[in-house]
Amino acid sequence: MSYCPKNNLLNLLRRGSKFFRKASNSAAPTVAPTSTPGQASSSAAAISSTSAMDDLHILKTRLCIIGSGPAAHTAAIYASRAELKPILFEGWMANGIAPGGQLTTTTDVENFPGFPNGINGIELMDHCCKQSLRFGTQILTETVNKVDFSTTPFKVFTDSKTVIADSIIVATGAIAKRLDFPGSSEGPGGFWNRGISACAVCDGAAPIFRNKLLAVIGGGDSAMEEATFLTKYGSIVYIIHRRDTFRASKIMQQRALTNPKIQVLWNSVVVGAYGDENTNNRVLGGLKVKNVLSGEVSDLKVSGLFFAIGHEPATKFLDGQLELDSGGYVTRPGTTLTSVHGVFAAGDVQDKKYRQAVTAAGTGCMAALEAEHYLQEIGSQEGKTD
């Protein structure tokens, strides 16, 4: 089953029909002929074995892509055009995000080439999905929960399928860490994507933030960088930090602390967000900020809040199959290579610096080309002809 962001209702209906078919089959009474206990036991074992075989789906492919964002789909487009006939696992709410990755949680994307008027994040990923399908990618809406890279061909597992692949591209991305407090979520009463974001570079230039009071939560290099970036657009940028010192590098601290448009709220945490009454609470109007030493809670009028508390790469499912750095990112910086020959990585899962849709797409292209060269190499060694 393939999924494009706009087609989620159709896929839910398909899933529902499958569920009811299974429920109907399991609920149907079984009438067995009269038999001895031994015969009955043998029949039950045979039925159980047949059922297990029916539930096991084994697929074979030259290239399996794990992921659903710009990196994964760019890899799929290049691989499909090279007639590698890739299988792509886009996941089902993997890491709490719909197929399409982090872009499905954003509104207007204004810095992706080719869209002079910007494009909605969901719509952009819908285009990517359709382009992958157009060239023949097989997209499966299932989440990979285990892999085996110890031998070739490699194996990829979901709850219902096993894929045997000659090569792999891991493009599962990284999730921006978010804080949970009243008003921070999507949905009713929440201001996520209505003033609250986790990417200043992606969203900071939006009209709702221009010449407004803004805030950044964090104390590392990312927080310093994002706060400094936001001074291009906001009138004042507050850095809210729970301690009395930053953990950022000295040079990054200096840049932030000497910027006249940046103010720091030390020993402070955000405990709530509320709406702007002038817009009938449609967008963020301010924050409730608590001083952790005195316990005092005060109002901070801002139109934008940016989380800059780090990212978590989606690599736990690898379970030690690839070398990772201390932050969980796939190693081999500057390349799409990994510690396993024939397994490649693309996008934010291997990029802790840029983390942009366009750079992810670029590494998706690189990974697909590397995979194609690898497959040609092993085909030549084995005396195969494509």
N- to C-terminal Cα separation, the chain? 27
| Cα separation, 329 vs 327, whole angstroms | 6
Do 195 and 283 contact (CB within 8 A), yes or no? Answer: yes
| Cα separation, 202 vs 193, whole angstroms | 11
Is 54 a residue of the active site? Answer: no
Both tokens of residue 313? 């790469």
Is 129 a residue of the active site? Answer: no
Pick the catalytic residue from 108, 202, 276, 348.
202
For the chain, where are the alpha helices, taking DSSP H only?
Answer: 8-27, 37-55, 70-81, 121-134, 200-203, 221-230, 250-257, 357-381
| Cis ω for the linkage preceding 153 (within 30 of 0) | yes
Degrees (nearest 5) of the Cα angle 261, 178, 99? 120
Is 128 a residue of the active site? Answer: no
Name residues whose C-beta falls within 8 Å of residue 286's C-beta, 6 or more positions apart in sequence. 273, 274, 276, 299, 300, 301, 302
| Cα separation, 34 vs 100, whole angstroms | 54
| Cα separation, 46 vs 40, whole angstroms | 10
Q: Which amino acid makes up residue 142?
A: E
Both tokens of residue 316? 């736990």
Pick the catalytic residue from 126, 166, 203, 351.
203
| Cα separation, 361 vs 73, whole angstroms | 8
Pick the catalytic residue from 199, 276, 348, 351.
199
Scan for tokens 């994040």, then name that residue.
121
Sign of CA dihedral 83, 169, 351, 185: positive
The DSSP secondary-structure symbol of 316 reads: G
Do 292 and 304 contact (CB within 8 A), yes or no? Answer: no
Do the bridges between strand 304-307 and strand 196-197 make them parallel or antiparallel, or are there none, so unpaired? parallel
Show which residues are catalytic. Answer: 199, 202-203
